[in-house]
Amino acid sequence: MKSPSLESPMGREKIEDLLSRWQLPARAAAPLIALVQTLAADPHAPTAVRSPDAIVDEHLADSLTALELPEVRRAKVVADLGSGGGFPGLPLAIALPTARVFLVESNARKCAYIARAAAASQVANAAVVNRRAEEWREGFGRQDLVTARALAPLPVVLEYAAPLLRLGGTLVAWRGRRDPDAEHDTKAAALELGLEVAEPIHVVPYSGAQHRFLHPFSKSAETPARFPRRPGSALKRPLGVARVRSA
């Protein structure tokens, strides 16, 4: 069977660069290429990025920056919240073949696309979960790692993620330019949820990328039983914001 390939030599080179940068085996190239091809060709893919070269940069390279964290490389059970088009979950599933990766997405059409992309890429260790994070009780307290990219404000992401993490587990949230006010609110939310805040990590997924940060959090205490609140509550009344800003 012929291996998948990118039409653009630059795209192929970028995939090879990712393998080298993150010390991934050569066998990871084929599923990563298939993932790019599926996203570029599927008219129902939930993204405005269609150029294969741009997909490699904006989605694959950005997703794989999480491998900079040892906690990510060690994870065996992973939940990607608000997975959308399958990022960062599918690239991380390819990079971590011994991990079980759950792609949690509430939108059924997006879930259907993720399933097609996973099948086309032959990513056997990924599973699609068509649920809201607050309602996925089967996942509570079981995740070594929770990821969230372009999902919601950080205090909201923390409330979604904390109940899913086991003690000692890690949340990694992708963000752009740092916002001191938002980070202040996030610290208050983290304290309430049993999470410990670490210093954001500046990453450069590809040449020319600016203001990209990974925000890691570790679960240092049990999350109070009142969390998660009812679906929608975290967005309507985010933790930390009212108390911190009124102080």
- Per-residue model confidence as pLDDT tens digits over 103-153: 999 999 999 999 999 999 999 999 999 999 999 999 999 999 999 998 999
Asked whether residue 1 carries a pLDDT value surpassing 50, the answer given is: no
Percent above pLDDT 90 for the chain:
89
Spatial distance between the Cα atoms of 48 and 35, rounded to a whole number of angstroms: 15
| 61 half-sphere exposure, CB direction, 13 A CA radius | 25
Asked whether residue 22 carries a pLDDT value surpassing 90, the answer given is: yes
Domains plus CATH for the chain? 68-246 (3.40.50.150)
Spatial distance between the Cα atoms of 135 and 160, rounded to a whole number of angstroms: 10
pLDDT at 176: 95
The pair of structure tokens assigned to 203 is: 């990453």
Q: Is the dihedral of CA 233, 235, 239, 243 positive or negative?
A: negative
Question: Is 0.85 topped by the overall pTM?
Answer: yes
Q: In a 3-state reduction of DSSP, which class is residue 31? A: helix
Question: 9: how many CB neighbours lie within 10 A of its CB?
Answer: 10
Mean per-residue pLDDT for 148-159? 95
Percent above pLDDT 70 for the chain:
94
The mean predicted confidence, pLDDT, of the chain is: 93
Q: Angle at Cα 167 formed by Cα 166 and Cα 168, nearest 5°? A: 105
Note whether 78 and 89 are within 8 A (CB). yes
How far does Cα 209 stand from its chain's mean position? Answer: 18
Asked whether residue 234 carries a pLDDT value surpassing 80, the answer given is: yes
Q: How many secondary structure helices (H) and strands (E) does the chain include?
A: 11, 8
Q: In which band, very low, low, confident or very high, does the pLDDT at 241 lie, cut at 50, 70 and 90? A: confident
- Per-residue model confidence as pLDDT tens digits over 187-219: 999 999 999 999 999 999 999 999 999 999 999
Mean per-residue pLDDT for 152-176? 97
Spatial distance between the Cα atoms of 148 and 154, rounded to a whole number of angstroms: 9
Q: In which band, very low, low, confident or very high, does the pLDDT at 48 lie, cut at 50, 70 and 90? A: confident
Bridge partners of residue 174, in order along the sequence: 149, 214
Q: In which band, very low, low, confident or very high, does the pLDDT at 56 lie, cut at 50, 70 and 90? A: very high
Ranking 91-95, 109-113, 118-122, 231-235 by mean pLDDT, the lowest is 231-235
Q: In which band, very low, low, confident or very high, does the pLDDT at 81 lie, cut at 50, 70 and 90? A: very high
Residue 116: burial class (beta carbons within 10 Å; 0-12, 13-18, 19+)? middle
Picking from 77, 223, 73, the residue whose alpha carbon sits closest to that of residue 142 is 77
Asked whether residue 246 carries a pLDDT value surpassing 50, the answer given is: no
